[in-house]
Amino acid sequence: MKIIENNKIQEKVYTKKMPNGLSVMVIPKKTEKKYIIWGTQYGSIDNLFQLGEKESTIPDGMAHYMEHKLFEQENGTNSLDVLTSLGVNANAYTTNNHTAYLFEASNDKFFEALDEFMNYIQNPYFTDENVEKERGIIEQEIMMYDDYPDWKIYMNAMRAMYHNNPIKIDVAGTKETIAEITKEKLQDAYHCFYRPENMAIVVCGDFEPEQIIKEIETRMTLENLDEKVKRLYPEEPEEIVKPRIEDEMNITRPLFIIGYKDTVKAENQIKKELALEMAFNILIGDSSKLYQDLYEQGLVQSQPSMIYENTNTYSHLLIQGQSEKYDEVISKIEEAIEDLKQKGIEEKEFERMKKKLYGEYVKSYNDVESIATSFLQNYFRGINPLDYFEEFGGITKEYTLQVLKEVMDKQKQIISIIKSK
């Protein structure tokens, strides 16, 4: 067992690579809540792979379909219902690049819940009948997301930005693609991606690290296979697909996204991410002049948000907000970006923002869910979240401005709009 420590915030992470290749991370916290999340690096973008000499294609939506099906057990029970009956809060989710299963317990049922949790993830039960039964449920979910404005505008932004990258494909797939999913295809996908070397478990709460790792190890039955899986992704041009995409929905206030397609591999992902976060807050944070002006003029009623997604296969920055006069707001944000590029960042404002963001990162370590989720998601990016605190010191206003200029490039900008019908 290795110990990773950060003295600045007095946090320790105990890590162990199990004999079968599974990575376990334990972050002790003196709190009533106990949280565990188990993820596999298998998401919606992993639809083409090579196992040995054989190349295979998976129908879009397979990872999400798998997430639904793992709860169903051979004895007729549903593990989600079993965990709920124990008084724990259980859930699962699928993203572009990983799938995760989790539960939070604030009672004495944690280890009883752990039995069920580790059993259902390691023992899938697929039949023609239960796979077919799930199809209708997922079709309804796809229809529901089609009516969800925030998801619609995000997916439109991805389609305006990416030519070939599978990130532009909906996580749940389509009615047509999930119609291709069979018991056999689910078994093949599980065999390829639900293997210990491709997975990680993060536990956060009042635990003795050695004890909880032993408890996990005694319940572990998965083994690695000799064959290695190679993920295959299509080549993606640097250019965007189109600069603007619009849609209409029954919403009270239009939504907008200003997006920037970024280069995939950054020399220092953490440092770049922090710099972009600072640049965004200086531009249009809740204390910025631009936001105050937009709010006082009635052009926005809440602060726009920023998402920066950076992995080995895709990278982009999105600024999202709401406004009746979205084109006017977009224009003002664009002007502010160009103005900052020309005039630079004031030292006083930069230092103030740096302290504010550092405090927010420290505060996030008070919540077991936030900690565990961050460690899992960053594990699949090859990042240790404790390193964020080390990188803060090396960020300068000059570096921040340089990153802003590189990422917020007008040539790689897209606009996605959802208008009110």
For the chain, what are the domain ranges? 2-231, 244-420
Condensed to tens digits (0 to 9), the pLDDT of residues 338-362 reads 999 999 999 999 999 999 999 999 9
CATH 3.30.830.10 fits 244-420, yes or no: yes
Would you state the pLDDT for residue 264? Answer: 82
Q: Where are the alpha helices (DSSP H) in 241-325?
A: 269-284, 289-296
Task: Provide the token pair at 208.
Answer: 């003795």
Q: Pick left, alpha or beta for residue 10 (phi over 0 → left; psi -120 to 50 → alpha; otherwise beta).
A: left
CATH 3.50.50.60 fits 2-231, yes or no: no
CB atoms within 10 A of CB 278: 25
Q: In what order do the strands lie in the sheet with 54-57?
A: 54-57, 48-51, 229-231
Would you state the pLDDT for residue 225? Answer: 77
Would you place residue 8 in the very low, low, confident or very high pLDDT band (cuts 50, 70, 90)? confident
In terms of DSSP bridges, do strands 244-249 and 54-57 run parallel, antiparallel, or are they unpaired?
unpaired
The answer, yes or no, to whether residue 84 has pLDDT greater than 80, is: yes
- State percent of the chain over pLDDT 90: 89
Would you state the pLDDT for residue 179? Answer: 96
Q: Quote the CA–CA distance of 44 and 112 in Å, as a whole number.
A: 31
Segment 399-412 shows an average pLDDT of 96
Does an H or E element contain 384, and which? none
> Which residues lie closer than 8 Å to 14 by C-beta, 6 or more apart?
1, 2, 3, 25, 26, 27, 28, 209, 210, 213
In terms of DSSP bridges, do strands 23-28 and 199-205 run parallel, antiparallel, or are they unpaired?
parallel
Condensed to tens digits (0 to 9), the pLDDT of residues 217-241 reads 999 999 887 788 899 999 999 999 9
Catalytic one of 11, 53, 67, 180 = 67
Fold: same for 2-231 and 244-420 = yes
Assess whether 67 carries a catalytic annotation: yes
